Amino acid sequence: MTSQSQRPRVGLFVTCLVDILRPSVGFAAVRLLEAAGCDVVVPLQTCCGQPAYNSGDRDTARALALQTIAAFEGFDYVVAPSGSCAAMLKVHYPRLLAGDAEASPRARAFAERVYELVSFLVDVRKLEAVPGTFSGRVTYHDGCSGLRELGIKRQPRELLERLKGAELVEMAETETCCGFGGLFCVKYPDISNAMVSKKTANVTAVEPELLLAGELGCLLNIAGKLAREGSRVSCRHVAEVLAGETAEPPIAHAASDA
Amino acid sequence: MRPAASPFAARSAAALADARLQRALADVPGGFVAARARVKAALPEFDALRRAGRDIKDHALAHLDLYLEEFERNAIAAGSKVHWAATASDACDIVLGICRAAGARLMTKSKSMVSEEIGLNARLEAAALKVVETDLGEYVIQIRGETPSHLIAPAIHLGPADIAEDFRRRHDHLPQNRDMSSPAVLVAEARAILRPKFLAADVGITGANLLVAKTGSAIIVTNEGNADLTLTLPRVHIVLASIEKVVPTLDDAWTLLRLLARSGTGQEFTAYTTLVTGPRRPGDPDGPEECHVVLVDNGRSELLGSGLREVLRCIRCGACMNHCPVYCSVGGHAYGSIYAGPIGAVLSPALLGPHAAGELAQASTFCGRCESVCPVEIPLVGLMRRWREVSFAEGSAGWNKALLRAWAFLARRPRLYHLAARVGATLLGGLARGRGAFSRLPFAQAWTRYRDLPAPQGGTFQAQWARRQRREAP
């Protein structure tokens, strides 16, 4: 067996938000996975079904689960740059398909191969050095699904410690929800606003240059609020900074003010 | 145009605009949440204890009929009278009947959520009986004509200044210019008002935190000692308890009590923990002549046989509320049910019906912090999701449902989805005209009212990736 063939084949589950709003996160994920010795493939894919599942539409969620499992057949690993999408694939697909004698074992076998990007890099690939550099203070927001469904807390911080020039400062209540919650933020905008306002106050209090997270949904919410407040703090997906994929301006920033 | 607000959304908006309420809620993270974190850190086996608590409740629920009958036998043997109430109305009738038979005019009462659930005070007052709440928070909300806004801190929505105002208004026999500047003064005043009520009451009504099948005992915990005065001084004691409170043994009860105090207030144990096993025995220096236990079902048997059974594990500690960012933003009254927060979002639709309270399960970001602190590991997010499934199936999800259907149609057709995604990302990217975000967008007002909407970078990842693969192909 050649060394080339020992490189694991990773199917990148890019997630809807990254696909449509911020492709640079996808390219950053690819660069990190390649730096961790993986071959990356991006099969034709749509959505993991989380919006349907959390809206009570199990039939659509089940159909999308089967579609996604079929699209990612044959990879050594399936990796997503999002805790909530990865948790959907890893934690909820087996539950959704538990009653289906044919699909249930497939869902369980699939789930075993699924990882969130940063935890995959640290826990599975033992990535030592990261390609990116950043000089300045950064703070990290824990996305709820990644934190509580997948136990991701230490891994991004480990990689940020290795990011040359970066100083990690922790804000208060980093484990409190930012108020995004998928459709919650547009169904209950007033409550969502109250929650994200507390979050941006905690961000601002530690005076970082950059806020990072592993979840684009949270980032859109927090970056959108910081932009509305006229804050100087900018926001990026943690993969962009770790990979050194920072040619694109930060979230909610124009190229001119990057 | 803003769509017509739902009752929950309207109450939430009012709560968010209420500066006094917001000041009161701001204390929750530094109070209950920090206290729980401290006692949890001091008990390395806390998570093992949670699993033990969960297993005790699951076992008791799986054999609920047997343990209830065992409780009844042992309670009767200890001299109690046991009453079974299928509905809220039955439970009120039973209590009313006991009070009338005792010739009672004044009742004292310690804190009981099930009494709130069945609307007991209103029923007693309609029958011209006077009932006085003796838990300080409950006393305050009783004189304000309010319902509790929290499971263990019913007046958490109020500050000392609000309470001082109510006391001045209500206790009009006291000098108007008296000093009411500290909580200690308020407590002393309430104590002076309540002491004669304790002594004069004909019947004392308490809840029960747990029932013990093996001994026929009710366990009642407080931090004020008011339950002890309520249950020892009057001639008749009535314990009102919902049927899921029963556990097999005293050992099981201790495990749950260790969890209850730590999870709720962040104490290692409550200040007063009282076991009641029947009325006064011959030779006892004090205690009531009669002890009645009213076992309330009110929909719980049905829950037991449903996919929501796990909600019956709840020991009413309030940790899910204290840790809920939605509850801490809007408070308990916004939920429109005496059961608020995550546990209320699961329990209220079961008790009030999905049409009355089904929306509460929508009002969550599913952040999961509630279930991560629940002392009996109730899967609150999964149970809220079940209510969303009910709402979705009944079509009560409105225009959201139409949008969701359109999105699902696309998501199940990958090539069409990609075309739509590319067109959408390109159009929006073009519309942004180099700005990084939209400050206003006609169809996204719910978002842009409060924050900017980050603009797409332009083009989808999958399209760009496919182009790159083609370029790099040999």
- What is the span of the domain harbouring residue B208? 43-301
pLDDT tens-place string over residues B154-172: 999 999 999 999 999 999 9
B293 within domain boundaries = yes
**Do B286 and B326 fall within a single domain?**
no
Partners of B21 on chain A (C-beta within 8 Å) are none
Residue at a domain's end among B354, B375, B393: B393
CB contact under 8 A, B451 and A227: yes
B34 within domain boundaries = no
Tell me the CB-side half-sphere exposure of residue A57, using CA atoms within 13 A: 23
Could you say which of A49, A64, A181 has the minimum Cβ distance to residue B365?
A: A181
Question: DSSP readout, A74-101?
Answer: T-SEEEES-HHHHHIIIIIHHHHTTT-T
B440 within domain boundaries = yes
**Do A41 and A102 fall within a single domain?**
yes
**Do A201 and A229 fall within a single domain?**
yes
What is the interface size between A and B, counted as CB pairs within 8 Å? Answer: 211
Could you say which of A20, A184, A188 has the minimum Cβ distance to residue B460?
A: A20
Angle between the N-to-C axes of helices B414-432 and B399-411, in degrees from 0 to 180, rounded to the nearest 10: 120
Number of domain units in chain B: 3
**Do B271 and B294 fall within a single domain?**
yes
**Do A80 and A155 fall within a single domain?**
no
B353 within domain boundaries = yes
On whether the CB atoms of residues A94 and A107 are closer than 8 A, the answer is yes
Could you say which of A51, A63, A173 has the minimum Cβ distance to residue B407?
A: A51
Return the DSSP state at B2: P
**Do A174 and A229 fall within a single domain?**
yes
pLDDT tens-place string over residues A196-237: 999 999 999 999 999 999 999 999 999 999 999 999 999 999
B19 within domain boundaries = yes
**Do A117 and A133 fall within a single domain?**
no
B2 within domain boundaries = no
Instruction: Give the contacts of A127 (CB within 8 A, at least 6 positions apart).
Output: A32, A35, A36, A121, A159
Task: Give the C-alpha separation, A73 to A91, whole Å.
Answer: 18
CB contact under 8 A, B365 and A248: no
- What is the span of the domain harbouring residue A152? 129-257
B338 within domain boundaries = yes
CB contact under 8 A, A191 and B393: no
Residue at a domain's end among A123, A138, A154: A123
**Do B62 and B124 fall within a single domain?**
yes
Q: Can you give the CATH number for the domain in which A186 is found?
A: 3.40.50
Partners of A173 on chain B (C-beta within 8 Å) are 29
Question: DSSP readout, B6-43?
Answer: PHHHHHHHHHHT-HHHHHHHTTTIIIIIHHHHHHHHT-
Could you say which of B326, B425, B437 has the minimum Cβ distance to residue A191?
A: B326
**CA distances to A20, A138, A141, A169, A199 from A203, in Å:** 27, 10, 9, 10, 6
Q: Can you give the CATH number for the domain in which A58 is found?
A: 1.20.1050
CB contact under 8 A, A44 and B462: yes
Per-residue pLDDT tens digits of chain B, which is 474 residues long: 344 568 999 999 999 999 999 999 998 878 999 999 999 999 999 999 999 999 999 999 999 999 999 999 999 999 999 999 999 999 999 999 999 999 999 999 999 999 999 999 999 999 999 999 999 999 999 999 999 999 999 999 999 999 999 999 999 999 999 999 999 999 999 999 999 999 999 999 999 999 999 999 999 999 999 999 999 999 999 999 999 999 999 999 999 999 999 999 999 999 999 999 999 999 999 999 999 999 999 999 999 999 999 999 999 999 999 999 999 999 999 999 999 999 999 999 999 998 889 899 999 999 999 999 999 999 999 999 999 999 998 875 567 778 888 889 999 999 999 999 999 988 888 888 788 999 988 778 899 999 999 999 988 999 999 999 999 876
B147's tokens: 């319902």
**CA distances to A156, B92, B417, B419, B428 from B424, in Å:** 32, 59, 10, 8, 6
Task: Give the C-alpha separation, A17 to B2, whole Å.
Answer: 26
Partners of B401 on chain A (C-beta within 8 Å) are 55
**Do A43 and A155 fall within a single domain?**
no
Task: Give the C-alpha separation, B348 to B357, whole Å.
Answer: 6
pTM for this predicted structure: 0.95
Residue at a domain's end among A80, A101, A123: A123
**Do B289 and B324 fall within a single domain?**
no
Partners of A145 on chain B (C-beta within 8 Å) are 368
B309 within domain boundaries = no
**Do A114 and A143 fall within a single domain?**
no
In chain A, which among 32-91 make CB contacts under 8 A with chain B? 42, 44-47, 49, 51-58, 60, 63-64, 67, 71
Q: Does A168 touch chain B (CB under 8 A)?
A: no
Residue at a domain's end among B393, B411, B435: B393
**Do B223 and B137 fall within a single domain?**
yes
pLDDT tens-place string over residues B406-417: 889 999 999 999
Partners of B410 on chain A (C-beta within 8 Å) are 46
**Do A72 and A108 fall within a single domain?**
yes
**Do B357 and B423 fall within a single domain?**
no
**Do A136 and A182 fall within a single domain?**
yes
- Token look-up 């969303």 returns B388
Could you say which of B397, B446, B459 has the minimum Cβ distance to residue A55?
A: B397
Number of domain units in chain A: 2
**Do A153 and A246 fall within a single domain?**
yes
**Do A34 and A112 fall within a single domain?**
yes
pLDDT bucket at A5, cuts 50 / 70 / 90: low
**Do A11 and A31 fall within a single domain?**
yes
Residue at a domain's end among A91, A123, A155: A123
Task: Give the Cβ contact number of residue B362 at 10 Å.
Answer: 23
Sheet hosting strand B236-242, strand order edge to edge: B81-85, B290-296, B236-242, B203-206, B106-109, B130-133
